[in-house]
């Protein structure tokens, strides 16, 4: 199962789309966040199965809710595998509207580990009609050349920068520079982990387009799309 967390306009606070967040129901009925089990899933080699299940649930939600636009994370294992993309393509090639309402998130560290392969992956997703976001942007210190090569649509500013943007001049300068770089390349920007109005005001002032975090919306469990498409 999964939860949805809204991503809102920094200026109007209107919901633009929502990120799909993986959740697991324990034997006792407790709902566990991804942080509690994703590392174990990667270590056990079952992260691809989780990626496939999350794709199925996301596509099912898009089918039953034409008003939804969603953003879905994909692990490094699935980016480099090819079978995940082939499965996605089978669903989206016949439904461009659903593709238009789907964004795929790839972490910056995954992207720069194999830049050429990541760029091919991004290009293939965009050919399907999806948008692509580079997640945790700034954590891996992607160069100007690498960011331009990747050809994504959106960069998501890593939450560690948002945490200290109100207290650290270097962080503020860095975020302002990242936003200017993104704007120069024609990319949208999302600031992650926004928790205070002061952070939101500063992010809006430096030109960030969208916000994500507890200040603007907590994750809400979505259980309706229970079967894969």
pLDDT tens per residue, range 42-78 = 888 888 999 999 999 999 999 999 999 999 999 888 8
Per-residue pLDDT tens digits of the chain, which is 229 residues long: 899 999 999 999 999 999 999 998 888 888 988 888 888 888 888 889 999 999 999 999 999 999 999 999 998 888 888 889 999 999 898 888 899 999 999 987 777 777 888 899 999 999 999 999 998 877 656 667 778 888 899 999 999 999 999 999 999 999 999 999 999 999 999 999 999 999 999 999 999 999 999 999 999 999 764 433 3
pLDDT of residue 141: 60
Q: Are 76 and 107 in contact (CB under 8 A)?
A: yes
Which residues in 135-171 are b (16+ Cβ under 10 Å) and which e? Answer: bbbbebebeeebbebbbbbbbbbbbebbbebeeeeeb
For 12, 17, 42, 48, the CA distances from 142, given in Å and listed in that order, are 30, 25, 24, 26
Total residues found in the chain within this entry: 229
pLDDT for 140 equals: 58
Strands 102-107 and 31-33: unpaired
Q: What is the pTM of this model?
A: 0.90
pLDDT at 169: 96
Which pLDDT value is given to residue 227? 39
At residue 136, the pLDDT reads 82
């Amino acid at each position: 199962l999964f939860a949805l967390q809204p991503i809102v306009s920094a200026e109007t606070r209107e919901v633009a789309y929502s990120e799909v967040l993986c959740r697991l129901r324990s034997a006792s009925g407790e709902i566990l966040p991804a942080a509690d089990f994703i590392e174990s899933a990667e270590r056990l080699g079952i992260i691809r199965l989780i990626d496939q299940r999350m794709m199925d649930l996301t596509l099912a939600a898009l089918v039953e809710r034409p008003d939804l636009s969603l953003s879905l994370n994909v692990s490094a294992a699935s980016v480099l595998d090819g079978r995940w993309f082939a499965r996605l393509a089978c669903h989206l090639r016949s439904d461009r509207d659903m593709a238009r309402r789907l964004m795929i998130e790839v972490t910056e560290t995954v992207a720069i580990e194999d830049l050429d392969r990541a760029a091919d992956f991004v290009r293939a997703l965009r050919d399907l009609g999806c948008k692509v976001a580079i997640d945790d942007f700034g954590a891996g210190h992607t160069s100007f050349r690498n960011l331009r090569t990747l050809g994504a649509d959106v960069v998501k500013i890593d939450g560690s920068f948002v945490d200290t943007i109100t207290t650290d001049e270097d962080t503020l300068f860095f975020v302002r520079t990242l936003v200017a770089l993104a704007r120069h390349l024609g990319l949208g920007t999302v600031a992650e982990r926004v928790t205070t109005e002061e952070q939101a005001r500063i992010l809006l002032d430096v030109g960030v387009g969208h916000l994500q975090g507890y200040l603007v919306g907590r994750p809400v469990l979505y259980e309706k799309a229970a079967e894969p498409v």
